[in-house]
Each structure stands twice: as structure tokens, then as C-alpha cells.
Amino acid sequence: MPAALACAAQAGAAARDLTELPLEQLMALEVTSASRFPQRASDAPSAVTVITADDIRAHGYRTLADVLRSVRGLHVTYDRNYAYLGVQGFGRTGDYNSRVLLLIDGVRANDNIYDQASIGTEFPIDMELVDRIEFVPGPGSSVYGSNAVFGVINVVTRRGADLGGAEATAGAGSASTALGRASWGGRTEAGTDVLLSVSGFRSRPGELDSDRNRQLFARATRGPWALQLVHGERTKGIPTGAYGIVPDAPGSETTDQWTYLNLRHARPVREDTELTLQLSYGDYRYSGNYVYDMPPLVTNRDTARGTWWDAEARVVSTAWHGHKLVAGAQYQADARKDQFNFDLAPFASYLDDRRRGKRSGIYLQDEIALRADLRLNAGIRYDQPYTGSGVLNPRLALIWNPAERMVLKLLHGNAYRAPNAYELYYAAPGPGGQKGNPDLNIERIRTTEAVAEYFVSPSLRLQASAFRYEIRDLIEQVIDPADGMAVFRNTGAARSSGAGLEIERRWSSGARLRANVSAQRAVDGNGTWLVNSPRRLAKLAAVVPLGGGVRAGAELQYASKRRTLAGEVPGFVIANLTVTAPLPPRGAELSVSLYNALDKRYPDPAGPEHPQDRIEQDGRTLLARLRLRF
């Protein structure tokens, strides 16, 4: 899995080396870097955040969006249909998260029509199946290619052996919320690791604001082989009257369906060299029903279907002394990237666009030990996108240990996003409609980041970072003055600079605290403050054992005011509280969560497709969950 490039493999390689030493020598080694933290992320050339399964349980995180809200520099916007991720001040409304790369166990999960990274209830994996989530901010195109513009999210799932039997969760809460999960996992004597799980969820905060999903997860691993299936489908009512639909008529809803199948073969070809071969299949189906009053009421259906195959080969080697080499090649063939738009009755077709495509990339990364305390991480990737000419994205990082407990990193890199099928080909005729633009070019970002990490003690970590990025040829929707139609053009530019600070403390009692603040200033090419760009974010998450195995997880999250398309929304602070208590029989657990516990009323900025300028968020919500193990 490619995410291992960033951090996991490095720690793993080091551990392999240590086991070569006899116990007598191990006893002479001094511990210099602190690892009371779940993962040694310090080796990654960036300010990585890792959220573990235990954090997810302690804080009652329901979705990937909930997890990401706690991460430094990120903010999530919800328009009562999809959740949108804002990164370091860039969170323009109407973007489907196409500027972050989402990986599931190291495999690309963004679809091939909108390039969207799904993070709300449409994300197809239950958070209770997650082992950890890593957010790697900064440009990732030198390894991952397109979309890794602002960062990479890697969702790593649990293994069957981690469950060691059956698990079930049942939950109920306010807004007619009900959820359930049944999972089984284990490892056979012969060494086959199996994990099977099904989940379902529904909620209805408002008459038209219904939300329901179903999910399936299956994986079998044996020796070097792993086969994994992920499937999820989610249907969401549209309560906002988006795209000019009748605001109070039932029947307007979107369904998003994701299927990922992945076969992986990973094995050491030598003591110091590992080869990974991987074949993935992805299928994404979107179907939206939009009820318009013509009159009479007519249901317009907007659908898309994307199917793709992705083959990747990668070698990680430490065969040369002082070097850690990663080389890989990737080829993606899109069997389908089709978009349709039609009225159901009377039938009228407005769009029937069927496409195929292919793209490929090769990459090389080397981490060179320049001195005992200084490493250089250099990577470059060449991509041939679906359309247009090839693109080269380098990244350079210096990692310096000036003192035993201190790590300084300096990172400079480029990343890009290729125009997607929606931007290139979607067209809706008529006045106020939209037209395609097959001549779109890629958009590019250039980022410089500095990170300082200091382990005051094995249980206290401080991290400071500063960044600056510039985007050019930004793809944005504009109105063509010639015909009044909306069209995507490479007209935009944006730049942002900012800084962040994080402190993490763990106590032997199991208590822990993570607090971070970030400040950023993001503007467009004319120096105008970007829409949906908070200048200050602050998050605090604490887990406190209350005795008898009972734990409380408390969170405070602050975002300062944001500009909307027509005005501003004020800043807000929300509090979340989760209490978890063990129950008999052993392994059972009751968890009660209060989200937005202080019932703060606050809106998020709306995208241009909504009639309103601001969209009200959920007030206080209660959710109780019972977890059982068999």
C-alpha cells in the first residue's frame, strides 16, 4: 500500500533491522524518539496526523468527516447532502473534494467522473472497521499522481485477527437515527485472515432530510495475497431546494453507490526489497432525482456511471546502504465514464455522454541518509493524464534531527489535478444551462512547508508548522458572456499561507489530550478572501478515564467567521461529548454521544447550487450505541 511509503514502511524497516541485533545489544540502545504515540509519523516528510480506532471509539466518530474535523487545519462543510473538506483555508463551496486524494488501505478511492473523495455518510466503510486514519497534508502527486493537491487521507481497515470473533453494534438516537453493524473476523490455523462485515444506518433530521446507507466489507488475506471488497450505497433527500427544484416536494434525492475490489500480492524478493503488485476495480454510480415544477411536476434524473481498472507495481528497497528507494508504475483504464440527464415522464433526454479513458504514471523516490542526523527525501512522478500532455511533479524534503528529541522538516513540492469528466463533458442545454470544455488543462499547486516536532518527553509532543501554497490554472466555473452558459475554465488562482501548532500529551492512566490551533490567510488571484475559508481554527480533544473502565471523550472545535457567496457566516464553537462504559458480559460496551452538546446554532456557507446563502447545521444530537463481542 502506497501510504506505507510515507511513514509505516520506514518504521517497519527500522524494526526489522533491530531484530537482527542480539538482546545484549538491544539492551545498550537508547530510546531517543518518543513512541507512546500510536505511530511514528516523524519520518514522513510532512506534519502527519494519525487518528486511531481507539480515538474513533472514545470520541464516537460516526463518519470520516467527524474524524477529519478533529485534524489540525481541516474544516468540514455540510450542505445537507454531501460533506466537503476544507484544507488549510481552501474550501470553496461547490467542490466535490477533488483536491484531496482518498485512499482505502492504500488504494485510490476517488471516482473517475467527479474525482470526489467521499467523507460523509456516503463514504462506504463503517468507522468501527477502521484501524487508523492518516492525514498527510501537502502535495502528494510525486507519489500518487492527480488529486493529491492539498493532502492524502489514508483509511486503514482492521484485520480479521484484530476482531478475533464476532462483533455487533446497535445504535439509536435523536432525529430518528438507527444504525447497526455485524462483523466477523479471525485467522485460521492455516494463516488465512478473514474479515466480513455489514452495516446500515438511517436518520431523518427533517421531513425531506432523510439519510440512509448500507455497507459491505469483505477481505481475505493469506500469505502474500489479499483480496478485498468494499461496497456502500447511500440515499439522501435534498432538503435545500438545490438546482432550482421544488423546495417542499418529496422525491428529490441522490443515491451514491461505490464498489471497490482489490487484489494485492506483496512479498519480499530479497531480505531488503519488497515487491507489491496490485490490481483494483472501481465502480461508482450516482443517480439524482430532481423534482421540478414545469408545471406539472416533472422528475429530472441526473446520473453518472464510472468504472475503472487500475494496475500498480511497486518496489521498496533498502539494498543500497544509506538509501531507501521506492519505484513504481501505475496504469488506469476507465471502461466507463458516462453521464446522463433526462426527464422521466414525459421522457426527454438532455445529456447522453459516454466516454472511456486511460492514464498512467511512473514514480521514483529515494530517501538518502546524508549524515546520521540529516536525510533527504526526493521524489518525482511523471503522469500521462486522460487528456493533454504529460506532467512532472517533483517533491523534495529535508529531515534533520538537530537534537535527539527534535525533528525539523523542510518540504517543497508540486502537485496537480487533471480536469475530470464532469468538468470536461457535462452539458445541460437551455438558458442558465452548462456546457462542456474539452480543452481544459490541469491545475497546479506549489507548496512549501516547514515542520518542527519536539518530544519534550516520551508522553509529550509539540509540533509547529508553517506553509505557503500557490495554485495556478485553477479550474473554476464561470459564465460565458457569449451565451450565458456556465462553463469550467482554467481562469482561477489562489494562494494561502499560514501556521499551526499542536500539542499532544498522554498519561499512563490512559488519559490523553490533543489540542491544535491554525491560522491561515487564503486569497484568490485578485487578493480577495476566499469563500468558506476560516482564518482561525482550534480543536481540543481529551479522553479521560473515569474509573471502572468508564471513559469520557470530550471535544471542542472552533472556526472563525467565513465569507459566503453573498455575505458572511459567524464563527462558532461546538462541543461533543462521548461516554463509554464496559458492560457485562465481557467485551460489551455502551457508548452515549452528545454531538453539539451545547446546542449551538450555526450555519455553513452554501454552494452556488443552493437558493440559500447559508445552510443551518445540526443542533444537539444524541446517539447511544451498544457494542457486543462474541
Partner 1 sequence: MRPQPVGEYELKAAYLYNFALLSEWPEGALPAPDAPLALCVLGRNPFGPSLAALEVKTVHGRRLEARQVPTAAAARRCHLLFIAAPELARASEIVAALGDAPVLTVADSGAAERTPAVITLGMHGSRVAFSVDLGAAKRARLRLSSRLLRLAAGVAGAEEAR
* CB atoms inside a 10 Å sphere around CB 567: 9
Q: Cβ closer to partner 1: 517 or 626? A: 626
**Grid coordinates belonging to 290:** 430532481
State the nearest-atom distance from the C-beta of 70 to partner 1, in Å.
Answer: 18
Task: Report the alpha-carbon distance of residue 182 to residue 165 in Å, rounded.
Answer: 11
Whole-number Å distance between alpha carbons of 520 and 511: 31
Q: What is the smallest separation between the CB atom of 19 and partner 1, expressed in angstroms?
A: 5
**Choice between 382 and 507, CB closer to partner 1:** 507
Among 146, 254, 401, 593, binds partner 1 (CB under 8 A): 401
Contact 167, 183 (CB under 8 A): yes
Q: Out of 34, 56, 149, 530, point to the residue binding partner 1 (CB under 8 A).
A: 34
Residue from 8, 152, 380, 559 that binds partner 1 (CB under 8 A)?
8
Piece in contact with partner 1 (CB under 8 A), picked from 80-88, 201-209, 421-429, 504-512: 504-512
d(CA 206, CA 472): 41
Tell me if 402 contacts partner 1 by CB under 8 A: no
Q: Of residues 191, 296, 431, 527, which one binds partner 1 by CB under 8 A?
A: 191
Residues forming beta bridges with residue 87, ordered by sequence position:
74, 90
Residues facing residue 407 across a β-bridge: 453
For partner 1, the binding residue among 187, 231, 285, 324 (CB under 8 A) is 187
Q: How far is CA 319 from the centre of its chain?
A: 33
Closest CA to 89 of 100, 74, 102: 74
Residues of 330-367 as b/e, b for ≥16 C-beta within 10 angstroms?
bebebbbbbbbbebeeeeeeebebebebebbbbbbbbb
Give the range of 14-22, 246-254, 300-308, 334-342 binding partner 1 by CB under 8 A: 14-22
- Is the CB of 40 or the CB of 285 nearer to partner 1? 40
Stretch that binds partner 1, among 23-31, 69-77, 143-151, 526-534 (CB under 8 A): 23-31
Q: For the CB of residue 184, give the shortest distance to partner 1 in the complex, in Å.
A: 13
Minimum gap (Å) between residue 549 Cβ and partner 1? 9
Q: For residues 39 and 477, which CB has a smaller minimum distance to partner 1 in the complex?
A: 39
Instruction: Pick the binder of partner 1 from 482, 509, 567, 584 (CB under 8 A).
Output: 509
Q: Contact between 24 and partner 1 (CB under 8 A)?
A: yes
Residue 178 or 369: the one with the smaller Cβ distance to partner 1 is 369
**Can residue 36 be called a binding residue for partner 1 (CB under 8 A)?**
yes
Region of 442 please: left (phi>0), alpha (psi -120 to 50) or beta: beta
Residue with cell 455489514: 198
DSSP strand pairing (100-104 vs 107-108): antiparallel
Instruction: Give burial (CB, 10 Å; 0-12/13-18/19+) of 428.
Output: middle
CA angle, residues 386, 387, 391, in degrees to nearest 5: 85
Q: Does 9 bind partner 1 (CB under 8 A)?
A: yes
Task: Return the number of the residue (267 or 356) whose C-beta is nearest partner 1.
Answer: 267
The rounded distance, in Å, linking the Cα atoms of 564 and 608 is: 10
Please report, as residue ranges, which positions from 352 to 391 form the binding site for partner 1 (by CB under 8 A): 369, 372-373
Closest by Cα among 155, 213, 148 to 180: 213
The residue among 178, 183, 217 whose CA lies nearest residue 201 is 178
Nearer of residues 190 and 345 to partner 1, judged by Cβ: 190
- Least distance to partner 1, CB of residue 372, Å: 4
CB of 267 to partner 1, least distance (A): 10
Neighbours of 497 (CB within 10 A): 17
Contact window for partner 1 (CB under 8 A) among 80-88, 185-193, 415-423, 437-445 = 185-193
Q: Does residue 584 belong to the site contacting partner 1 (CB under 8 A)?
A: no
- Which cell numbers hold the place of 97? 473534494
Smallest gap from residue 263 Cβ to partner 1 (A): 20
Task: Tell me which residue of 231, 211, 289, 286 sits closest to 256, measured CA to CA.
Answer: 286
Closer CB to partner 1, 42 or 520, in the complex: 42
Closest by CA to 258, choosing from 381, 113, 420, is 113
What Å distances lie between residue 162 and 123, 169, 499, 537, CA to CA?
22, 16, 38, 35
* Least Cβ distance, residue 589 to partner 1 (angstroms): 10
Stretch touching partner 1 by CB under 8 A, among 1-9, 64-72, 298-306, 435-443: 1-9
Residue closer to partner 1, measured from CB, 24 or 349:
24
Q: Which of 12, 241, 525, 571 binds partner 1 (CB under 8 A)?
A: 12
Tell me if 11 contacts partner 1 by CB under 8 A.
yes
468, β-bridge pairs: 448, 497
451 is a contact residue toward partner 1 (CB under 8 A): no
Cβ nearer to partner 1, comparing 106 with 419: 106
Q: What span, in angstroms and rounded, lies between the C-alpha atoms of 521 and 533?
A: 8
Is there binding between residue 550 and partner 1 (CB under 8 A)? no
Q: Give me the 49-78 binding string for partner 1, x by CB under 8 A, dash otherwise.
A: ---x-x------------------------
Smallest gap from Cβ 211 to partner 1, in A, equals 31
Select the residue interacting with partner 1 from 244, 250, 268, 388 (CB under 8 A). Answer: 268
- Residue 160 has φ and ψ, to the nearest 5°, of -55, -40
Using omega within 30 degrees of 0 as the cis cutoff, is the peptide bond preceding 346 cis?
Answer: yes
Taking residue 455's Cβ as centre, other Cβ atoms within 10 Å add up to 23
Say whether residue 31 binds partner 1 (CB under 8 A).
yes
Instruction: Say how far apart CA 46 and CA 40 lie, in whole Å.
Output: 12
Q: Which helix (H) or strand (E) holds 491?
A: strand 485-506
- Contact residue for partner 1 among 296, 481, 527, 586 (CB under 8 A): 586
Q: How far is the CB of 406 from partner 1 (least distance, A)?
A: 10
Sign of CA dihedral 131, 544, 119, 68: negative
Residues making contact with partner 1 (CB under 8 A): 4, 8-9, 11-16, 18-19, 21-24, 26-36, 38-40, 52, 54, 161-165, 187, 189, 191, 268, 369, 372-373, 401, 404, 458, 508-510, 586-587, 629
